[in-house]
Amino acid sequence: MDETKIKNMQEFAEVSGISRPTISKYFNDPSSVRPTTRARIEAALERYDYRPNIYAMNQNRRLTKTIGIVVPYLSDPFFAEIARNIERRCLAKGFWPILFSAHGEEDHERDILDSLRSLKPVGVLLAPLGRRSDKRAVEKFCKEVPTVLFDSNIEGVGEAFIGSDNGQSIPLIVEYLCRTGSPPCFFEMPPVNPNANKRRKAFVSAMEQLGHDPQVIRIEGKTWDFEQVGFDGGIDALKTDRFATSTILCSNDRLAIGLIAAAHELKISVGREDGCQIRIAGHDDHPFSRFTSPSLTTIAQDYAAISNRSVEVLFNLIEAGGDLRTREETLFEGKLVMRSSA
Amino acid sequence: MDETKIKNMQEFAEVSGISRPTISKYFNDPSSVRPTTRARIEAALERYDYRPNIYAMNQNRRLTKTIGIVVPYLSDPFFAEIARNIERRCLAKGFWPILFSAHGEEDHERDILDSLRSLKPVGVLLAPLGRRSDKRAVEKFCKEVPTVLFDSNIEGVGEAFIGSDNGQSIPLIVEYLCRTGSPPCFFEMPPVNPNANKRRKAFVSAMEQLGHDPQVIRIEGKTWDFEQVGFDGGIDALKTDRFATSTILCSNDRLAIGLIAAAHELKISVGREDGCQIRIAGHDDHPFSRFTSPSLTTIAQDYAAISNRSVEVLFNLIEAGGDLRTREETLFEGKLVMRSSA
DNA sequence: AGAGAAAATTTGCGCGCGTAAATTATTGAT
DNA sequence: ATCAATAATTTACGCGCGCAAATTTTCTCT
């Protein structure tokens, strides 16, 4: 490593004995120059540790290499995991992923979209807040920036949507619960996104299909602190005996985690074993759901598939110049994960 | 909103009837221009929706407004929460926070520092991976970029360190556990960062102080999937009866969450009530620790204080031109959170 | 060895902004 | 009305790179 500092591409071109445009070409795509030239550049790179100025690059490029990733709530390990996977794949393709979390606030989501616009990303992967999103802001954003939606759909917005198939997963677990014990009732909080609604509807229809009366217990809660909502609502519902049956299907795992804690607090035994008083099931296969006591029976969303497919579609979108012919919605099936709670 | 698109600052200067340098000045600090001028600019801004090109701005500015935030593992709600708080405060001060997670991988941490360098941030808040960090890379980075370390310390590296005081918190909970039942043994995995080491040492010394024999149970585990490590190691240790006493102090909450699940799996009752077989305590007050069954007795790290102070110190550092006279280490005390598990 | 293709080079412009110095206009208090 | 202080303007240059067109060099194949 030579100690002479290289200021810019011109200087680096001089010390490496190669013209600046060729160097520029190399940095945009190392494989676009002849192997011998590439070797010479990389040898010089070893010695001088030069890196092009990102800001100058992005200012002049037709398209930046920036990819925006926006999630509604990063403290939720579900999104943290997905973000991690997406980041990885973007980096592998030579893009610059940049991660944003709306932290559950619509204002912040709007600000993020604003910031993102000025970053001029080639593409964006967006998991909207859902119900609380400023739909017009999102819509406007998607018209300007090639965007793929995931997790939470907004009809007609974005170039594609990738999510999980609530219409398949809920009947799957409802059927399982009915087959192995008392039919479930449905435990939910005010829906924060379309998934919540679809799950309730799927529950009702699945129960009717099986000839049972679909009971929905809706509790209060406006925050993204789902576990707390589930706990508080659970304590209340359990104390006042609001659950119609001894089997409870929760709208998502985080709610279920809170509910299990509530049951434990009230010394109500949870599980599918003989002697247990209630059964609790969730939906999502949250990373922590295997460590609840008892471990949570749930539906595994296919994290990997959703994030992989989202990235693939985005890459296609980018290659197509930011415009897919038709807006496709891809839904992945969930798998039943039988653990101890139901 | 006028439909004529403004391409650059020159055009915006023309339509607003103000010179470009003044516009430029306004965007760097709106309060630096006369109120009447400011009003005229903002009126024009309403009509034309112009935003300066970030890349051009950052290319030419002496100092960017970018602040880097680097955490070791974003799926851990502890870091997600801290990141959220830091982001907020940076935005409030007019900075551009940008979040990175090393995802538990030292290679990725190094790559992040590389990327960050080219973003030329005014300042960086870094929670290193810890033991697995490439210390030389971190050290080199900190010499070039004004950096404040938090959560996990690296001696002498960075302009300051903010963390929690393990030397206070561990004796606190050890004393509590000894006072209310059998003295604890210490449950840990191979230390991933200095905190883990400090906690073990603090445990040993606290126990000796109280005249007890300090027993440490070390389990295997190399990943950041602490719950799983705690579960697997817990199953093993419980089955083979490796715990010296019926009270177990875990190195951190995530490990404790896994251990509670393991105890439940083996039908070993956990809690401080009469009739329970073992007590389990943690450290950190992880967001989920109130929802374990039983809820986890632990030490609450002061999330807010740590993140607030980190940001404050960074702001001071930035104002001081990137160089504080002395490297200060600030440690916040933990508070005992008594729940049901111990 | 020679021809054509492929790659590298030369030259030069443009991007959108920061910044500095010198000049002119505006303000607020005397 | 006068003057100094403050603010805005004019003018001009520079940042570090992308990109395009024309030219020259190098490679590949016969």
Q: Per-residue confidence at B244, pLDDT binned at 50, 70, 90? A: confident
Most confident of the following: A150-154, B18-22, B131-135: A150-154
Is residue B323 pLDDT above 90, yes or no? no
B6: the nucleotide nearest its CA (via C1') is: C16
**Chain C positions with any atom < 7 A from a protein CB:** 7-12, 14-21, 27
Phi, psi of A147 (to 5 degrees): -130, 135
pLDDT of residue A77: 84
Distance of CA B164 to the CA centre of its chain: 11
| Residue A205 Cα, gap to closest chain B Cα (Å) | 32
C-alpha to C-alpha distances, B130 to B50, B80, B124, nearest whole angstrom: 44, 17, 17
Helix-helix angle B135-144:B106-119, to 10 degrees: 10
B123-126 and B66-71 strand pairing: parallel
C-alpha to C-alpha distances, A90 to A25, A307, A314, nearest whole angstrom: 21, 11, 10
Cβ count near B320 (within 10 Å): 12
- Token representation of residue A252: 């998502």
pLDDT of residue A2: 59
Q: Could you tell me if A85 lies within 8 Å of chain B, comparing CB atoms? A: no
Is residue B2 pLDDT above 70, yes or no? no
Half-sphere exposure of B138 (CA within 13 A, CB side): 29
C-alpha to C-alpha distances, B261 to A143, A199, B8, nearest whole angstrom: 48, 28, 59
Q: What percent of chain B has pLDDT over 70?
A: 99
Nearest chain A alpha carbon to B73 = A80
SS (H, E, C) chain A: CCCCCCCCHHHHHHHHCCCHHHHHHHHHCHHHCCHHHHHHHHHHHHHHCCCCCHHHHHHHCCCCCEEEEEECCCCCHHHHHHHHHHHHHHHHCCCEEEEEECCCCHHHHHHHHHHHHHCCCCEEEECCCCCCCCHHHHHHHHHHCCEEEECCCCCCCCCEEEEECHHHHHHHHHHHHHHHCCCCEEEECCCCCHHHHHHHHHHHHHHHHCCCCCCEEECCCCCCCHHHHHHHHHHHHHHCCCCCCCEEEECCHHHHHHHHHHHHHCCCCECCCCCCCEEEECCECCCCHHHCCCCCEEEECCHHHHHHHHHHHHHHHHHCCCCCCCCEEEEECCEEECCCCC
- Token representation of residue A77: 């390990």
Mean pLDDT on B31-42 = 87
Is residue B335 pLDDT above 80, yes or no? yes
| Residue A69 Cα, gap to closest chain B Cα (Å) | 11
Which strand ranges, in their side-by-side order, compose the sheet holding B216-218?
B216-218, B185-188, B247-250, B279-281
Distance of CA B342 to the CA centre of its chain: 26
Contact B294, B340 (CB under 8 A): yes
pLDDT of residue A1: 60
**Chain D positions with any atom < 7 A from a protein CB:** 7-12, 14-21, 27
Phi, psi of A256 (to 5 degrees): -65, -40
Q: Do B227 and A80 touch (CB under 8 A)?
A: no
Is residue B1 pLDDT above 70, yes or no? no
B251-262 pLDDT, tens per residue?
999 999 999 999
A335-337 and A298-300 strand pairing: antiparallel
Which of B51, B61, B74, B100 should we substitute to test contact with A (largest number of A Cβ atoms within 10 Å)? B74
Number of residues that this document lists for chain A: 342
Cβ count near B14 (within 10 Å): 12
pLDDT of residue A166: 96
Residues of chain A with pLDDT under 70: 1-3
B35: the nucleotide nearest its CA (via C1') is: D7
pLDDT of residue B271: 95
Q: Is A233 exposed, middle or buried (0-12, 13-18, 19+ CB in 10 A)?
A: buried
Q: Give the global pTM.
A: 0.92
Number of residues that this document lists for chain B: 342
Q: Do A118 and B51 touch (CB under 8 A)?
A: yes
Residues 167-196 of A with CB under 8 A from B: none
Nucleotide C27: nearest residue by CA–C1'?
Answer: B34
Q: Could you tell me if A113 lies within 8 Å of chain B, comparing CB atoms? A: no
- Token representation of residue A288: 């922590």
Q: Per-residue confidence at B139, pLDDT binned at 50, 70, 90? A: very high
- Token representation of residue B280: 């389990």
Report chain A residues whose CB lies below 8 A from the CB of B119. Answer: 54
| Residue A102 Cα, gap to closest chain B Cα (Å) | 9
Q: Could you tell me if B48 lies within 8 Å of chain A, comparing CB atoms? A: no
A135 touches strand C (CB under 7 A): no
A293-338 pLDDT, tens per residue?
999 999 999 989 999 999 999 999 998 888 888 999 999 999 999 9
Is residue B151 pLDDT above 90, yes or no? yes
B59 touches strand C (CB under 7 A): yes
